[in-house]
Amino acid sequence: MMDVSTPEYFKALAHPTRQRLLFELDRPATISQLASTLGTHKGNIAYHLRVLREAGLVRLTSARRVRGGTEQYYQRTAHIMRLVGEQSEANLPIAFGAIAAEIASAAPDPLLILRHIRLTPAQVERITATLTELAHHTEEAGEDKQRYGMLLALYQQLEPAPDPTPTATRPTQQVTSP
């Protein structure tokens, strides 16, 4: 697991294509494979890979000779990347845009559940432990099995600030009927 917390990391993650590349690079892939999967040009992929590699988010895993050239395989440096720190909030819209694009290109009817619920600190601790266990310890079934994405989240909603206007001076709404 890698904590993404420095300005260099967030700068490298500031483009949706780089976010999508990180999704794809959970296993080694070449520039050609990535360009085909993401539906873009190899030059575009090479540029974004270089930015991610210079930031330390992607690494070259192997290379092999093919038809007089060299095929290079890249993979992300950490299996799990956790956005933390002051800049994580500013990066969330970009990250979620990439996640939305991935889900939109997925098989029909993905499981998506959003529920707002009031919890005790003990419940939060138990749910966090369960989600962490799922994220870190779910074993891969193997290359011959269908691939799935998993997005786990538990976040505290901020309560809206109370209206500072005293009740007696708040404007009232009048309803008239014909």
Residue 136 pLDDT: 84
Q: Give the domains, in start order, of the chain with CATH numbers.
A: 2-108 (1.10.10.10)
Distance CA 31, CA 41 (A): 9
**pTM higher than 0.85, yes or no?**
no
* 69-76/58-66 β-pairing: antiparallel
Between residues 163 and 135, the one the model is more confident about: 135
Neighbour-count burial for 58-86, b at 16+ CB within 10 Å, e otherwise: beeeeeeeeeeeeebbbbbbeeebebeee
β-bridge partners, 64? 71
Residues 36-68: tens digit of each pLDDT:
999 999 999 999 999 999 999 999 999 988 888
In sequence order, the β-bridge partners of residue 74 are 29, 60
Determine the pLDDT at residue 174.
Answer: 42
